[in-house]
Amino acid sequence: MNARGALGRYGEDLAVRLLTDAGMAVLERNWRCRAGEIDILAMDGDALVVCEVKTRRAGMFEHPMAAVTRAKADRLRRLAEIWLDRNGGAPPGGVRIDLVGVVLPRRGAPLAEHARGVA
């Protein structure tokens, strides 16, 4: 695994901890199909959460939360539809797309921010 991959994996590990601490049940990590990848799939009560994780080192010009563009949100919606088709359809609570942004400062603890319903 290269440095970028290790950084992403670390951010996803932090995101999983953040989501589970918030009471969510993680179903899958790094689910892939030909159309792309979903970082984390989780249940929040009776709602399916499709979670994108963006990790950046402090000092980068762009905050990780700014990394989800309209095109990325559209792709996440398409991926969610594919996952639902393969896994029995939408749950009673529907589907929500969340984002976890992780910033790693030069010193100290990482900062993780969870935004619900970003797309």
Average pLDDT over residues 23-46: 97
Report pLDDT for 65.
72
Under the banding of pLDDT at 50, 70 and 90, the label for residue 31 is very high
Report helix, strand or coil for 70: helix
Domains of the chain: 3-115 (3.40.1350.10)
Kindly state the DSSP code that residue 35 receives in the 8-state scheme.
T
Tokens for 94? 């529907």
Question: For the segment 60-104, what is each residue's pLDDT rounded down to a tens digit?
Answer: 666 777 777 889 889 999 999 999 999 999 999 999 999 999 988
Q: What is d(CA 110, CA 115) in angstroms, rounded to the nearest whole number?
A: 16
Average the pLDDT over each of 4-8, 42-46, 79-83 and give the range with the smallest value: 4-8
Dihedrals φ, ψ of 95, to 5°?
-125, 140
